[in-house]
Amino acid sequence: MKLEDFYFKMSLKTEPILDDTTLRDGIQMPGLAVKPKDAAQIAQLLSEIGVERIELFHYQKPDKKAAKLIQKMGLGIRVAGWCRAVKEDIDSAIECGFNEVGISHPVSDIHFKAKWPDKTREQLLANVVEVVEYAAKTHGLRTFVHGEDSMRADWNFEKEFINAVAQAGAECYRICDTVGIGLSDPNAPLPNGIPAKVKAIKKETKIPAIEIHAHDDFGNAVENTMAAIRAASGVWDKVYASTTFLGIGERAGNAETEKVLLNLYLQYGVKKFEGKTFKLKQTADFIGKVTGYVVPPNKAIVGDYGFAHESGIHTHGVLNDPWTYEPYPPELVGNTRRLTIGKQSGKGIIRHKIIEITGKTPSDEELMNVVAKVKEIYANGRRSSLKEEEFKKILRTFNLLQE
């Protein structure tokens, strides 16, 4: 079997660009922090897997240090500073040496009434336009505008907002599904129908490019990101996908960089990621280590158990042909196949592990002795898989492995 037998069947008539915000939205997750030198290493790993733009904070001293470290590395990726719609934030970004910024501002009445009850839509929009002009025209920065809570915005106002910031010099508008209620269904109407919004922005505004930033409150962030990319195909020349590695971020987090990347590569044949996917696991492990985030073992693609097999049916299949229970070789993403011994393990995997560890084929009697011992352990209440050393101890009990 080859990857070509199952993948690369679809194609896109748009260029998807990964815009990773792990070092901005990701580290807003409660309990996470990252040192400047580690942030720089994360940026390097992201560049190596195919991310083309990253977004950074730049307000506190460690953030500023990280921003300057990253820019000195010459990684060949675009580095943008995240800003509120205030000129002081633009000044901070300029001080840090950024050539581009993302300016975030709400577009829904829910946010307007909660944050600025005494201001009108027109007053708020006038301020955003002034700040965008200050960034784009006064200082020549490449400027994105993030429409916070886009999925609950009045479309007529949002359309006016997008056209105003486009005229002020913004090159890209970010559709922000701030509370994760977007719908991927092509038939879903505005404001929260993502394909409808992607197409309406092209038809009814003058903004040169769009981006999708999906939160995972409904567990749909990856699907909604892919839905935006599919909707952009044949409509937009390019589409940005704002993601975080491992999906880390506020509340339920964001669309995972690694999931969007692998879907684009395998399912839609985006060849620019070819040869880069093998660093996905390494990137996940490093981010987990330096931020304090515990990567769930069953996390798709990069989890330690992503290619772990224990039950008799699965291990029997995988030992005969890995394609039976694996969608692609674990090496493709830098992961490892793990055949573990546990409550559901059968004779086949136990025999395989004995041969793997001892280099010898056990007799039927020896095999059954080990199988019986494993069953006894689990009959006595054990739940977790046996560690390698625990299994070796069993083998020593039956003189299958020397001390």
Does residue 198 sit in the same domain as residue 344?
no
Whether 378 maps to a domain, the answer reads yes
User: Quick one: 193 and 94 in the same domain?
Assistant: yes
- The H-or-E segment that residue 145 falls in is strand 142-148
Q: Could you give the CA distance from residue 209 to residue 173 in angstroms, rounded to a whole number?
A: 6
With 90 as the cut, is the pLDDT of residue 346 above it?
Answer: no
Q: Are both 254 and 363 inside the same structural domain?
A: no
| Per-residue pLDDT reduced to its tens digit, 193-226 | 999 999 999 999 999 999 999 999 999 999 999 9
DSSP classification of residue 102: E
Specify the length of the chain in residues. Answer: 403
Residues 127, 197 share a domain? yes
Give the C-alpha separation, 199 to 144, whole Å.
Answer: 19
Q: What's the token pair of residue 205?
A: 């505004």
Residue with tokens 């993601």: 243
| Full domain range(s) for residue 354 | 308-397
pLDDT of residue 311: 84
Helix H or strand E segment including 378: helix 364-379
In a domain, 403, yes or no: no
Domain shared by 87 and 219, yes or no: yes
Q: Which of 291, 323, 351 is the last residue of a domain?
A: 291
Separation CA 95–CA 109 (nearest Å)? 33
The answer on 45 and 17 residing in a single domain is yes
Domain assignment present for residue 296? The answer is no
Sign (positive or negative) of CA dihedral 192, 193, 198, 201: negative
Q: Residues 208, 237: one domain?
A: yes
**Residues 275-302: tens digit of each pLDDT:** 999 999 999 999 999 999 999 999 999 9
* 221/253 same-domain check: yes
The CATH number of residue 237's host domain is 3.20.20.70
Q: Looking at the domain assignment, is residue 298 inside a domain?
A: no
Asked if residue 302 belongs to a domain, the reply is: no
Domain final residue, candidates 229, 264, 291: 291
Band (pLDDT 50/70/90 cuts) for residue 229 is very high
Q: Which residues pair with 102 in a beta bridge?
A: 82, 144
Q: Tell me: do 115 and 47 sit in the same domain.
A: yes
In a domain, 299, yes or no: no
As a whole number of angstroms, the distance between CA 261 and CA 244 comes to 11
Question: Which domain-ending residue is among 241, 261, 291?
Answer: 291
Average of per-residue pLDDT across 64-79: 95
- Whether 287 and 314 map to the same domain: the answer is no
Domain identity same for 118 and 219: yes
Band of the pLDDT at 115, cuts 50, 70, 90? very high
Six token digits for residue 42: 């994360």
Amino acid letter for position 24: R
pTM of the model: 0.94
Say if 303 falls within a structural domain.
Answer: no
| Dihedral class, residue 76 (left if φ above 0, else alpha if ψ from -120 to 50, else beta) | left
Residue 252 identity (one-letter amino acid): A
pLDDT tens per residue across span 253-264: 999 999 999 999
Cα-Cα-Cα-Cα torsion 193, 196, 202, 203, nearest 10 degrees, comes to -130
Total domains in the chain come to 2
Q: Give the residue carrying structure tokens 């733009």.
A: 53
Residues 181 and 250 in one domain: yes
